[in-house]
Structure 1
Amino acid sequence: MSHPDLTSHHVNYLIWRPFSPSDYFFGPAVLEAEPRKSQGGPGENGTDQAPVSPTSKVARDSVINGHLTGEPAAPQVIPNAKKSRKSDRAETNGDEIPMEIDSNGVANETKSAVAASPSLADTAVDGDGDVSMGIRPDSQDQEPTAAPTFTLTNGHSVGVQITPAKAADLSPDTALLNVADDCHVTRTLWRPNDSTVVVAVGETFCSLWKMPSSASPVQEKLVEGKGDSICVSAVAWDPTGQKLAVATYNDMRGSITMYDVAGNAVDLLPEVPRMITGLHWTESGTHLIVVASDSKVSELALWDDSVRPDEFPSPQVIDGSIYDLSWLGRNEAYASGNGTVYQCEVDSSIHISKTFTSETDRPWTFIRCANVNVSSVAVAASSAAAAFWIPTHDMHLDGAHEGDITAIELKPNTLDQPQANHPLVLASSSTDDTVKIWHIDLDTKRFDCIHRLFLGPSSPALASSFSPDGYALAAASKEKLFIWNSQRGGTAMATWSVPGTDGTKIEEGQSRLANGHNGDAESIPDRSLAWDTDGKRLAFGFGKQLAIINMQS
């Protein structure tokens, strides 16, 4: 039997004629959008996902970018899930925190400014790298939320791939510097607007490293405390990069030396009878707030390059310790202490204009500030209590993490959009192995956790930092560096591992200093992260070494 030739008319008909699911002899039937609560057993596909083990290959392969693939993941018990340090406490109101689904299909937690934190013991890691949050049975009576729109009408849906399937390895673009002999690195900082000069700081040393592209790195030792009791307590570049202020502590007295970019001492400030725990330059670089503190008394002193030392204004004396300070504009600063945040006005001197007192006398270890819609916002965090407090707007949140908070940072705002269009975004890292990214709604007084990024089992997040443009978020554990897209979260874009790490050798000499003060908390190793001004280089301090990671090779 002869067959007619296949013409273009036949081809067009086959391509453009309407198809129905019955025309296919392979693949599953049409997927119907399901409500958020699964209507069947654990083997059925739905937008609720049973907690899965972070190390389970089946679980990782079956959930991509927050959406289910063709083969559902079987529920598994997490063998190494940490017990919540607050799990033995009853919830304050007995209610669970409602969850929302973001654009990536990742569950978000929304918390009132005064709500108690839900236990993280029920959490697991989804295939996108975020920590998913299991919904307890007593909260299942909430209104069901529609599932995210599937990207395919037939077959299985894997979602829009906006995050890499595998993190890039930064090892080929990384150079290692041996910066210390006996001590370990506690802080790193780049010279402003110069990606060839970086400073490495330890408890007994401070070195300036010059790294021209056409030559080997050159070290200039500024402080080297071998065989004596000199301690480097604080370091800060002025915003122009012309002066590096280095504070040292010796014989119960603190002093500050100014260095130029060549490593020459150009100025020496008067000594103070206590340790200098903070050096904070104003954005213009004309003024420097010096924080000198001990367990009983603290001083806030204002240094001005144009004023003679014998004409310096009297310092602002405060009872108790000052743990952190943050500028806000040219004439305002906020300082945090025990149960207190101080609003300070700065002109020819510095003085307290307002005092905020928290409900508990906990130490507010960190403080960061921002202007939001012409409103001053100060965000404080208590490390040991894992709590946030915004005294300027009467907001607080307990149980933000299940471990100590190790760092907080407000996301920088880009210049391509007006300030009013930017939400207040906060990143917090913790010893509970996670970094969280929060949206803070000042009008409704709510903290919304939009991403919970998991570093791995027994991998506390010891440091974190936004890139200057806010695009990337870097975090460091004992043995690894992670870089995420700060808006998408999910899978890390890139990682770097400490070479030959055994988890013990590089921790020798670790201290118990907490934000410049002696503490009784469990000793953890120091890790430091610093982006250069352009966000093209990242300095990662660990042990006695400094890794210089080139983001653009």
Structure 2
Amino acid sequence: MTVEALSSNVVNYLVWRYLQEAGYGNAALQLSRCWVRDPESLPFAKNVGPHTLINLLQDGLWFDKLQAEAANGEQRYRFGRDHGRPYSSRNGDTLTLDQGVPAHQLAEEANGAVQEPVPRKGPGKRKRGRTNGIEPRMDPQVNGDAMDIDQNGHTHVTNSVRAESEAVASETESPTVAEIPISTLSIGQSTEIQTEKIADMFEGTTYVSIKEPGKTVTHTLWGTPEAPLLLAAGRSLLRLHHIPKGSGANSVQGPQSMDLKLLADEYTVTALCWNSHEEATVSVREESVNEGGEVMRNDKLLKVSGEEVVTISSTAGMISTMRWNGLTQTLLTISTTDISGFIRIWKGEEDLPVWTANTEKAILDAAWMNDTTFVVCGERLFQIYEITDSLKVQQTFETQATWESVKYEPSSGIIASLAMEEMTSFLGIVHPNDPTSLKTHEYPDAYFSDFAFQPRPISTSDSQSSTVVLAAASTSGVIRVWDANQPFKCLKRLITEDEGQVNKVAFSPDGSLLAAAGPYTITVWELEKRDVPIAVWNPNGRTNEWDPSVDGYFSLRWDPDGSRLSIALGNQIAIINVPR
């Protein structure tokens, strides 16, 4: 296996593609004028997928981090978290080459005539961030070919080996604006000037720190409206938090907590769910050391109510997924290994499951569809089960992908799922109009991370024709809003305010607000009213009570009435007030 060779043609093409995809059409026009007339005609262009430059940079930063960790050294590339104010209007109007209208006229009508570049004075340090929404002028850098800059600002390539197809730009060869193909260019025009106010949710944030060594949060779960308590669980941790509204940094009344005592001191909570406002079911793996120094592990399924802890089973294995069906008071648990999965259905006070089933492939997630039907997914596995007098497979979908999570929308009967196959992500839909088909769509953004249905009343009329909103996110900072009723019709493409990573998305309980969150920021939209966010939470450089660089599981939750958000990472929790 050989390393791909870079030339200035390849680098220029990647930059040109990025400028188009990011909405900086004028900059792309300028680059193609000074470089090559039609970049898409380059022989390698057909092999370059969307967002390749961003993917290369992200992969490079990850490699730099791993290399630094392996060598116990420092990372070479550090840009910090403050990249300046983001450009608020992302993509301008897309131009199509109308027959009979000169290309230069279309460009002038869209964003004015393309001007000659201002001569540069000399080399300088390249800046990554943007300032006040204006892209800074970049000075030439040595990147592949060796470049010299004369006093008139012209760039000459010296002592370099060029690709056979590589063009050499000169004044006589520079194409006119009318010659530049712009059928796919998106002109970076500020057509939607952002005038709506974006609320700052930082003030009034309540922080909860887990101070005991060795305790970390891996799960958070809000209780019912009758008892809006936040249950935090994880490594040697099972703790209830009562967080009064308005209990921020300047509040007299702060959060109160109560530990739910288990029999073992060392344990890990692997799954949990609320059964009612006063009872939860918890799966734990207890750890102890015998006299010979050997670590002993014991998996238990527990029912917790106040200070009372009752063991349901010690033979259920390590449970990774737990789903409660409130209508039938039935518990679905999934235990899995690398090569097989175990499905168990529990009911009432029974210490043995009522129904069981095994699979020959690992199960990664499950979701109830109704009182007697549920869907499971996993490694090359996608099945629907039905409970009758026994537990039977109702439908098996042939697939080679690893389906990591699955969700069900009850008013429409649509199933959605997220999959990985090698380095490619997929969004999957099973529609009731075609219940035997698992439709898949290659996800357009890198690193598909999470998705959520917008809550709708189950009695929604004409659900077969109405829009079923599905929001999906990627760690690249892009959120796409799909209509799951018309599989894979994208309704909106949203960008987080700081263009930072998004690990989780969640709709408020009433469905009116959408939150997208990562360790560094939370962005909230009211989709029915506007595409500009209504509120942003960004604590970077403003507090020492939240450290986004901590390693651990990241979680995002709405409280029962949709007035607050909670996020958790490592040994810290933040509760954020959301403006209504």
TM-score (norm 1): 0.64
Give 3-state SS (helix, strand or coil) of 2:509's partner.
coil
Alignment-derived partner of residue 466 in structure 2: 422
Alignment-derived partner of residue 547 in structure 1: 574
% identical aligned pairs: 18
Query: CA separation in 1, counterparts of 2:414 and 2:220?
Result: 27
Give 3-state SS (helix, strand or coil) of 1:432's partner.
coil
2:373 to 310, 316, 332: 332
2:284 to 243, 248, 258: 248
Query: CA separation in 1, counterparts of 2:204 and 2:407?
Result: 32
More strand by proportion, 1 or 2? 1
Give 3-state SS (helix, strand or coil) of 2:203's partner.
helix
Alignment-derived partner of residue 555 in structure 2: 528
Q: How does 1:360-375 map to 2 (within 5 A)?
A: 361-371=400-410
**Cα distance 1:475–1:366, how it changes in 2: closer, same or farther (>3 A)?**
same
Query: CA separation in 2, counterparts of 1:225 and 1:168?
Result: 46
Q: How does 1:115-264 map to 2 (within 5 A)?
A: 119-120=50-51, 131-132=90-91, 165-181=196-212, 182-194=214-226, 196-212=228-244, 215-222=253-260, 228=266, 230-238=267-275, 240-250=276-286, 251-260=296-305, 262=306, 264=307
CA RMSD of aligned residues (A): 4.1
Give the Å deviation of 1:301: 0.6
Give the Å deviation of 1:531: 1.0
1:460-494: CA deviations, max 9, x gaps? 11111011111111011221111111335522110
Alignment-derived partner of residue 45 in structure 1: none
1:8-38: CA deviations, max 9, x gaps? xxxxxxxxxxxxxxxxxxxxxxxxxxxxxxx
Give the Å deviation of 1:329: 1.6
Q: How does 1:121-520 map to 2 (within 5 A)?
A: 131-132=90-91, 165-181=196-212, 182-194=214-226, 196-212=228-244, 215-222=253-260, 228=266, 230-238=267-275, 240-250=276-286, 251-260=296-305, 262=306, 264-272=307-315, 274-284=317-327, 286-306=329-349, 308-310=350-352, 312-347=353-388, 350-358=391-399, 361-371=400-410, 376-383=413-420, 385-392=424-431, 393=434, 394-414=437-457, 417-418=460-461, 420=463, 422-442=466-486, 446-455=487-496, 459-488=500-529, 490-500=531-541, 506-510=548-552
**Cα distance 1:217–1:259, how it changes in 2: closer, same or farther (>3 A)?**
same
**Cα distance 1:432–1:460, how it changes in 2: closer, same or farther (>3 A)?**
same
Query: CA separation in 2, counterparts of 1:194 and 1:323?
Result: 31
1:202-245: CA deviations, max 9, x gaps? 344221112346943221123689984x221111112x323111
Query: CA separation in 1, counterparts of 2:528 and 2:339?
Result: 42
Give the Å deviation of 1:134: 7.9
Query: CA separation in 2, counterparts of 1:265 and 1:77?
Result: 69
Give 3-state SS (helix, strand or coil) of 2:354's partner.
coil
Q: Does the 8 Å contact 1:287/1:304 carry over to 2?
A: yes
Q: What is the one-letter code of the residue matched to 1:217?
A: P
Alignment-derived partner of residue 83 in structure 1: none
Q: Does the 8 Å contact 1:366/1:408 carry over to 2?
A: no
1:38-90: CA deviations, max 9, x gaps? xxxxxxxxxxxx85968xxxx8xxxxxxxxxxxxx9547999xxxxxxxx895
Q: What is the one-letter code of the residue matched to 1:399?
A: E
Alignment-derived partner of residue 33 in structure 1: none
Q: What is the one-letter code of the residue matched to 1:243?
A: E
Give the Å deviation of 1:530: 0.9
Give the Å deviation of 1:396: 3.0
Give the Å deviation of 1:413: 0.8
Query: CA separation in 2, counterparts of 1:550 and 1:53?
Result: 32
Give 3-state SS (helix, strand or coil) of 2:277's partner.
coil
Query: CA separation in 2, counterparts of 1:419 and 1:506?
Result: 44
Give the Å deviation of 1:300: 0.9
Q: Does the 8 Å contact 1:451/1:489 carry over to 2?
A: no
Query: CA separation in 1, counterparts of 2:52 and 2:385?
Result: 41
**Cα distance 1:319–1:503, how it changes in 2: closer, same or farther (>3 A)?**
farther
Q: Does the 8 Å contact 2:202/2:539 carry over to 1?
A: no
Query: CA separation in 2, counterparts of 1:128 and 1:329?
Result: 45
Q: Does the 8 Å contact 1:291/1:301 carry over to 2?
A: yes
Give the Å deviation of 1:195: 6.1
Q: What is the one-letter code of the residue matched to 1:246?
A: V
Q: Does the 8 Å contact 2:483/2:491 carry over to 1?
A: yes
Q: Does the 8 Å contact 1:435/1:454 carry over to 2?
A: yes
**Cα distance 1:508–1:552, how it changes in 2: closer, same or farther (>3 A)?**
closer
Give the Å deviation of 1:328: 1.0
Paired positions, count: 410
Query: CA separation in 1, counterparts of 2:521 and 2:393?
Result: 42
Q: Does the 8 Å contact 1:183/1:202 carry over to 2?
A: yes
Structure 2 spans left out of the alignment, 5+ residues: 1-18, 32-43, 55-84, 102-188, 246-251, 287-295
Query: CA separation in 1, counterparts of 2:532 and 2:499?
Result: 18
Structure 1 spans left out of the alignment, 5+ residues: 1-49, 60-72, 80-87, 95-117, 144-156, 511-525
Give the Å deviation of 1:340: 2.0
Give 3-state SS (helix, strand or coil) of 1:255's partner.
strand
Q: Which moved more, 1:266-275 or 1:291-300?
A: 266-275
Query: CA separation in 1, counterparts of 2:29 and 2:497?
Result: 16
Q: What is the one-letter code of the residue matched to 2:91?
A: S
Give 3-state SS (helix, strand or coil) of 1:166's partner.
coil
Query: CA separation in 1, counterparts of 2:382 and 2:562?
Result: 32
Give the Å deviation of 1:350: 3.6
Give the Å deviation of 1:279: 0.9
Query: CA separation in 2, counterparts of 1:178 and 1:504?
Result: 9
Give the Å deviation of 1:387: 0.3
